[in-house]
Amino acid sequence: MDILQNIDVGLVVLDRDYQVCLWNQFMQNHSGSAPEHVLGRSLFEIFPSLPREWFCRKAEPAFVLQSATFTTWEQRPYLFHFPHYRPITGVAEFMYQNSTIIPLLDTHAEVSHICLILYDVTDSAISKIAQTETNHHLQGLSRIDHLTQLYNRGHWEHCLDQEFKRFDRYQIPCTLIMFDIDHFKKVNDTYGHSTGDEVIRMISQCLRDEMRETDIAGRYGGEEFCTVLTATDASGGLEFAERLRNRVVSQRLNLEEDIHVTISLGICELTTEIKDTNEWIERADQALYQSKEKGRNQSSLAGYQERT
């Protein structure tokens, strides 16, 4: 009994009605309830927040099949909302817990009681959570262009390939827009590259303001941008392009002096005639150069009349 009381895990013995028959020192210390206040009471009365149906489903195999069952903090962070006292993991809001439920056989080889063993796994849980968050952050950095906060070219091309395959299977309309900043070299030469970077940031913000969550935007290179509009035909793509173009026209960068820029855009709806993503990009790029040749600050549809 001394071992059961002083072991550094929680021990709770429950009868068939889930009434507490044993409550060790670990449980007393972390719950703040002494054995005389919990013995003979229902576990669900002591811990109202413990889902009865869920816990009984976990415990039934121990009673019926005489087999142990387990819960982990990944499934449910804790069974009992205990504060933690781990100096290493001071950021934790509660004690993360794993648990084991084992059957206790009587002299007739029948299970009339079960033993719930509770483990404090806060240190390892917090460490794993931190590692997962770091991995997600690094994964995000590998996909994002730091200047624009849009997808970088590599990841955007991967997404483009996925959208191409999805169209090939489901024939859902999808439109690609390529655009760049008019006379951007002049901006860099006149105001410097730091100002050029501010212009790029401004354009990318305009793009983020206009796009939907399902759209896929990236920086293709230098001052050139690209966007895949999902479930959108050429008409919808042109409407989006004009909204974006007009938004950019209305912007002013208030640095040493007002700087005003425009963009030219090319739009290409994906069709069954387009054999791969390279051809899709090439057609949108050709439409972009049509806009350039016609005077810039306009949108052109691949294979259609340009619009100013």
Which residues are the active-site residues? 223
Name the token pair of 293: 């040749």
C-alpha count within 13 angstroms, C-beta hemisphere, residue 139: 6
C-alpha count within 13 angstroms, C-beta hemisphere, residue 296: 9
Q: What are the backbone dihedrals phi and psi of residue 20, each rounded to the nearest 5 degrees, phi first?
A: -75, 125
Amino acid at 167: F
Strand ordering across the sheet containing 263-269: 216-221, 224-230, 174-181, 263-269, 299-301
Name the token pair of 166: 């999805």
Name the token pair of 9: 């895990």
Element housing 184 (H / E): helix 184-191
Distance CA 139, CA 118 (A): 35
